[in-house]
Amino acid sequence: MSEESVRLSVPTPEAMHELGHDLARLSRAGDLIVLNGELGAGKTQLAQGIGEGLGVVGSVISPTFVLSRIHHSTGDGPALVHVDAYRLDSEAEIDDLDLEAYMPIAVTVVEWGKGLVEHLSENRLEVQILRANDVEDDTREVVVTPVGTRWSDLLGEWEKLVNQDMGRDARADADASRDQDEFVRTGEAQEGAETRSVEYAEGD
């Protein structure tokens, strides 16, 4: 059975941050979120929004040189484990980070995790961030693919949050502009996947 993806048009870094904030509202301890995209695409911006939405301690920054950081919650919610796998080459190196020890109490967000962390959970959210052709264009296309029943069941809730933030029917608007896609494809959604498109904008 193929998974179904949602495509989100994100116009600004601030909107990317807000997207992460909304994603945090759907997240719970044990969740694995895998972020992929070229350098400067907005992966850390998205992770920062997730951290803010979870209400964790400390600034969420790229953990490239220490590989992973754990940010504990300021309340009763889950912690955030933020991982940068850019310098890692194998599942064995991922396992050396002992992420599974923290997953029951945290939302685990892994940048550059494609092909490295899938063994950690059968249920995960894969997020691919694509840049526009114009280097001065901040717009990003975000392809969100749920893997497993946990995230597949939440796909509709994601779209509801987008619609609430925009105050209109985001899917209908995206359908009208689908032919205007001018993005460089740095990665593809899962082979054979169905896709739905919505446009994401900053909240009021």
3-state SS of the chain? CCCEEEEEEECCHHHHHHHHHHHHHHCCCCCEEEEECCCCCCHHHHHHHHHHHHCECCCCCCCCCCCEEEECECCCCCEEEEEECCCCCCHHHHHHCCHHHCHHHEEEEEECCCCCCHHHCCCEEEEEEEEECCCCCCCEEEEEEEECHHHHCCHHHHHHHHHHHHCCCHHHHHHHHHHHCCECCCCCCCCCCEEEEEECCCCC
End-to-end Cα distance, the chain = 38
pLDDT tens digits for range 25-49: 999 999 999 999 999 999 999 999 9
CATH number at residue 85: 3.40.50.300
Residue 91 backbone phi and psi in degrees, to 5 = -60, -35
Domain-located, residue 78: yes
pLDDT tens digits for range 129-165: 999 888 889 999 999 999 999 988 787 777 677 667 6
- 176 pLDDT tier (thresholds 50, 70, 90): very low
With beta carbons less than 8 A apart as the criterion, state whether 97 and 117 touch. no
pLDDT tens digits for range 56-95: 998 898 766 778 999 999 999 999 999 999 999 999 999 9
Nearest to 140 by CA among 128, 149, 131: 131
Distance from C-alpha of 88 to C-alpha of 90, rounded to nearest angstrom: 6
Domain-located, residue 121: yes
With beta carbons less than 8 A apart as the criterion, state whether 10 and 183 touch. no
CB atoms within 10 A of CB 15: 25
Q: Which structural domain, as residue segments, surrounds residue 136?
A: 4-199
With beta carbons less than 8 A apart as the criterion, state whether 69 and 57 touch. no
- Our count of domains for the chain comes to 1
| Pairing outcome for strands 106-111 and 32-36 | parallel
87-92 contact pairs (CB < 8 A, 24+): 88/112, 88/116, 90/116, 91/116, 91/117, 91/119
Domain-located, residue 204: no
**Residue of 163 and 193 predicted with greater confidence:** 163
